[in-house]
Amino acid sequence: MPAKAPPSAASTLALETAMGAAPTPLRMATSALGEAGSKESLARLNDAMAELKALAIQPLVDRIVACLNASRFQEGAEWAIKALEKDEQNGFVWYLLAIAFERNGDFSSSITAYETALRLLPDHAEIANDLGRLAYRIGMKPQAEKLFRHYLARFPGHPEGSNNLACVLRDEMRFDEAIELLRPAIVSSPQTPMLWNTMGTIVAELGDFDNAETFFKEAIRLEPDFCKAIYNLGNARLSQGDPEGALPLCERALELVEAEDERQMMRLSRSTILITLGRIGEGWDEYEARLHPAFADVTHFVIDKPVWTPGEDIGGKSLLVIGEQGLGDEILFGNVLQDVAEALGPEGHLTIAVEPRLVPLFQRSFPEATVGAHATYAKGGRTYRVMPFLENAPPVDAWTPIASLLRQHRRSVSAFPARPSFLKADPARVAHWRKVLESAPAGPKVGLLWKSAIVANARHRFFSPFDRWAPVLATPGVTFVNLQYGDCSEELAKAERDFGVKIWNPPGIDLKQDLDEVAALSSAMDLVLGFSNATFNIAAACGAPAWLITVPGAWPRLGTFEYPWYPQVRTFVTPTLSDWTEVMDQTAAALGEFAEAHAER
């Protein structure tokens, strides 16, 4: 007979997800069921240790457990190290040390301690579950899957293990496997709210928000104060274009949440809801949650200078602005840099750190500034950003992440200037590409973008399947030019085979790496059309005519049907997330009119 699994504590957290807000689109954020060191799990561990004969270090163990129960994690780790000095082969103490390290935020040391505990106590499958949860938390998904399967092998069908493994499968977009794993778990444990909530997140990933709401509501019925299900229900409402309905749910979840990392994730979600509602200044203030040390995806900026704060006079000073988040975000937030340069004045100096591929474009656009590349690395489950070029750059008085500048300079839609562009493509290369495009078939040249290279964090839901482009690609009199970076050979072949449309490939350019050339090529187009990815942002920031296909609840629209970051952009908004038919038909009709007007000219 299989072993009887330890009972799950009702107060602990699951690898349930929050489809909530992020600096970029809505993403899944997760935490783990069986929070390391819960009072229930520590009590079970004490029971297990009591079965050992002559546990000479029991007084030390009691001190460790007392510290963990009192949330004195650093002290607990110190007592665990003292215990291991007396008995370094005690797997239980290694387990307690792992818990102390994890709860104190030292993930690298925690993983080592968990691995040691599991080696010494191979039959204690709960360690595998905890180690899997930590591996999941820091992005080690394959390792997490193996550990959760180890736990389920010992405790088949256990709701905790099923839930955690389902979250890994969902994040790897193995949705059918995740559903097949959760379905029997729900049948066996229908009163377990986390299973309903996790099933809701999977269904939401598939774009079925009506059914997702059903699952979230059932989780809330079973546990009325289940903060994550409340939060997820709010984000489902936001994804369907109902920010008014999303906000009170997010705020209710914030009243209930206990874990600090989840609180910051929910604050970040609330910030984007506020921005979507047009409460832009409040939204940017709350957006600072992305920088909180407890936020799971926080980037630690390695620089020993004061941090600029809104309202601080920077006239005549030297300010370092550091790009953050994704490549497209660095460009989007670059909208504010001209304002910063003006605030610094002729006696001040602007230094900009951006992704290496963006350095030439930003240096040309801000010739008086010092522009260099930042570098990012991961260590111990944390992300660090450094600026190596500062060694040979003018000294700086203060620094700021680029998005924090929005708190002062972009607190309303009216604060966004009607500048035709804020980045500058190389004029000689623009002329070059205009000449090259003459060799393409006749008709207006429409650069096409249909996907992102990033598929994690639910981003795939914000891009239509390529099949849905059929009515747009059927527009007569248009030459479609491939601007899509990454491997798109399958889509190019499909367009020619199934739609009878040859998408022209520009010669001699790496659309992923040669971003300065991408800026020039985009600026040579008659129109750039597609979804928001890095290339779209480059094109729009350089002032290229651009049409954006977007979804309800997309916070960068700032509660409008325009795109204030780039005033020339025309938007086409889906009625609901993943309902692509109507918006593609509208885009195709507009493109037909565009082609006719171009022919008349």
Into how many domains does the chain fold?
Answer: 3
Q: What's the rounded mean pLDDT across residues 164-170?
A: 94
pLDDT band, very low/low/confident/very high, at 323 (cuts 50, 70, 90):
very high
> In terms of Cα–Cα distance, which of 242, 280, 287 is closest to 558?
280
pLDDT band, very low/low/confident/very high, at 55 (cuts 50, 70, 90):
low
Q: What's the rounded mean pLDDT across residues 66-86?
A: 91
Q: What's the rounded mean pLDDT across residues 502-517?
A: 95
Rounded to an integer, what distance in angstroms lies between the CA atom of residue 498 and that of residue 3?
A: 54
Copy the structure tokens of residue 9: 């504590």
Which segments of 251-348 are extended strands (E)? 299-301, 318-322
What pLDDT, on the 0 to 100 scale, is given for residue 27? 43
Contact (CB, 8 A) for 454 and 485: no
pTM of the full predicted structure? 0.82
Give the chain's mean pLDDT: 87
Assess whether 323 and 248 both reside in one domain: no
Contact (CB, 8 A) for 125 and 150: yes
Q: What's the rounded mean pLDDT across residues 303-320?
A: 96
Assess whether 434 and 494 both reside in one domain: yes
Rounded to an integer, what distance in angstroms lies between the CA atom of residue 513 and that of residue 356?
A: 10
406: which residues sit within 8 A by CB, 6+ positions away? 284, 287, 333, 336
Assess whether 404 and 435 both reside in one domain: no
Assess whether 459 and 399 both reside in one domain: no
Q: What's the rounded mean pLDDT across residues 25-37?
A: 46
CATH code, domain with 575: 3.40.50.2000
309: which residues sit within 8 A by CB, 6+ positions away? none
Q: Is a pLDDT exceeding 70 seen at residue 18? A: no
> In terms of Cα–Cα distance, which of 573, 247, 284 is closest to 412?
284
Assess whether 488 and 397 both reside in one domain: no
Assess whether 372 and 236 both reside in one domain: no
Q: Is residue 202 part of a domain?
A: yes
Q: Is a pLDDT exceeding 70 seen at residue 71? A: yes
pLDDT digits (tens, 9 = 90+) for 216-266: 999 999 999 999 999 999 999 988 889 999 999 999 999 999 888 889 999
Domain residues for 362? Answer: 299-411
Q: Is a pLDDT exceeding 50 seen at residue 280? A: yes
What pLDDT, on the 0 to 100 scale, is given for residue 2? 40
Q: What's the rounded mean pLDDT across residues 80-88?
A: 91
Contact (CB, 8 A) for 479 and 445: yes
pLDDT digits (tens, 9 = 90+) for 104-158: 878 888 888 888 988 898 878 888 888 888 888 777 888 889 989 989 998 998 9
Assess whether 156 and 249 both reside in one domain: yes
Q: Is residue 282 part of a domain?
A: no
* Residue at token pair 């500058």: 424
Q: Is the dihedral of CA 344, 345, 347, 352 positive or negative?
A: positive
Assess whether 33 and 169 both reside in one domain: yes
Assess whether 69 and 93 both reside in one domain: yes
Distances (CA, A) of 534 to 405, 454, 484, 503, 538: 21, 11, 10, 20, 6
Q: Is residue 100 part of a domain?
A: yes
Q: Is residue 551 part of a domain?
A: yes
CATH code, domain with 123: 1.25.40.10
Q: How many CA atoms lie within 13 A of 373 on its CB side?
A: 9
pLDDT digits (tens, 9 = 90+) for 424-451: 999 999 999 999 999 999 899 999 999 8
What pLDDT, on the 0 to 100 scale, is given for residue 296? 82
pLDDT band, very low/low/confident/very high, at 162 (cuts 50, 70, 90):
very high
Q: Is the dihedral of CA 38, 43, 49, 51 positive or negative?
A: negative
Contact (CB, 8 A) for 318 and 348: yes
Task: Look at strands 375-379 and 382-386 and give their pairing.
Answer: antiparallel
Q: Is a pLDDT exceeding 60 seen at residue 546? A: yes
Question: Which residue type sits at 491?
Answer: E
Total length of the chain: 601
Q: Is a pLDDT exceeding 90 seen at residue 453? A: no
CA angle 375, 381, 386 (to 5 degrees): 20
* pLDDT, greater one: 574 or 380: 574
Percent of the chain's residues with pLDDT above 70: 89
Distances (CA, A) of 336 to 108, 341, 564: 37, 9, 12
| Domain end residue (candidates: 383, 411, 439) | 411
